[in-house]
Amino acid sequence: MAVQINPSILSADFSRLAEEARAVEGADWLHVDVMDNHFVPNLTLGVPVVESLVRATDTPLDCHLMIEDADRWAPQYVEAGAGSVTFHAEAAAAPVRLAREIRAMGARASMALKPATPIEPYEDLLPELDMLLIMTVEPGFGGQAFLDIMLPKIRRTRELISKHGLELWLQVDGGVSASTIERCAEAGADVFVAGSAVYGASDPSQAVRALRTQAREATAHAAWACDH
Ligand code: DX5
Ligand code: ZN
């Protein structure tokens, strides 16, 4: 399974978003953090900025919605041109209906879990999703320290994916950097969001390449990947 690196523009210069998007053109996806000041204590951007970003880059957009009432708003991000839309389990009243709606509209459907939300209640929903996002910080801000206590949840999720034979991508987001990405890959993640580790680097494209190399090597030695 291929490793994917998704730089988060939350750590970019918001006055130069088009340029910042193009600075990581070798990336697999551009991770776009949408925050509403209700679900998380921070406010970022919405549909009009996503529409502009779609026009500004060839890299597909991975929209991470940290917003309340996801059932109502998520479809608008598909319409805006996002290739993948992630809603939070804690913010969706009807996650199965919402995932089906996102897929029917032509985007990849993804669901995120905050650190205190367990994966187990969602086991039967996993076939409805294209990606599961495990937050490795409390959502809301870039530049926070990686929560090692999330590694067992990543492992358990990878086991569920294998048990059911799913093609589900497993994304990690928060504090992912050169010093933590190998632990994530070893535990079972295959899609890595990195904000400050990419945009804080002097050469963001080079940072993406270096993270990808590290993740690939760690995956090659990981027990979960060797089983396949
Ligand atoms: C945090 C966001 C992340 C954030 C990650 O709530 O969801 O995507 O940009 O930033 P770093 O990689 O700096 O922790
Ligand atoms: Zn995010």
* pLDDT value for 49: 98
In the structure, what pLDDT confidence band is assigned to residue 226 with cuts at 50, 70 and 90?
Answer: confident
Give catalytic status of residue 33 as yes or no.
Answer: yes
Q: Is the separation of the CB atoms in 113 and 119 below 8 Å?
A: yes
> Is the predicted pLDDT of residue 228 greater than 60, yes or no?
no
Which ligand 1 atom lies nearest to the CA of residue 196? 13
* pLDDT value for 1: 60
CA–CA dist 63, 224 (Å, integer): 27
Q: Is the separation of the CB atoms in 132 and 168 below 8 Å?
A: yes
Q: Which two tokens stand for residue 108?
A: 């990849």
Ligand 1 contacts CB of residue 28 (under 6 A):
no
CA–CA dist 44, 93 (Å, integer): 23
Which ligand 1 atom lies nearest to the CA of residue 174? 14
Q: Which domains does the chain have, with CATH numbers?
A: 4-226 (3.20.20.70)
Ligand 1 contacts CB of residue 7 (under 6 A):
no
Give catalytic status of residue 173 as yes or no.
Answer: yes
C-alpha count within 13 angstroms, C-beta hemisphere, residue 203: 7
Q: What is the mean pLDDT of residues 112-117?
A: 99
Ligand 1 centroid vs 227 CA: distance in angstroms?
A: 31
Give the pLDDT confidence of 115-162 residue by residue, as tens digits.
999 999 999 999 999 999 999 999 999 999 999 999 999 999 999 999
Q: Which two tokens stand for residue 81?
A: 């041109």
What is the dihedral angle through the alpha carbons of 88, 143, 215, 126, rounded to the nearest 10 degrees?
A: -10
Length of the chain: 228
Q: Is the separation of the CB atoms in 67 and 36 below 8 Å?
A: yes
At 112 the three-state DSSP class reads strand
Give the pLDDT confidence of 158-185 residue by residue, as tens digits.
999 999 999 999 999 999 999 999 999 9
Ligand 1 contacts CB of residue 8 (under 6 A):
yes
* pLDDT value for 150: 98
Ligand 1 centroid vs 171 CA: distance in angstroms?
A: 12
At 135 the three-state DSSP class reads strand
The answer to whether the predicted template modeling score (pTM) of the entire model surpasses 0.95 is yes
**Residue 106 identity:** G
Ligand 1 centroid vs 228 CA: distance in angstroms?
A: 30
Ligand 1 contacts CB of residue 181 (under 6 A):
no
**Residue 143 identity:** G
CA–CA dist 205, 202 (Å, integer): 9
The single-letter DSSP state of residue 89 is: G
Looking at the DSSP bridge assignments, the partners of residue 24 are none
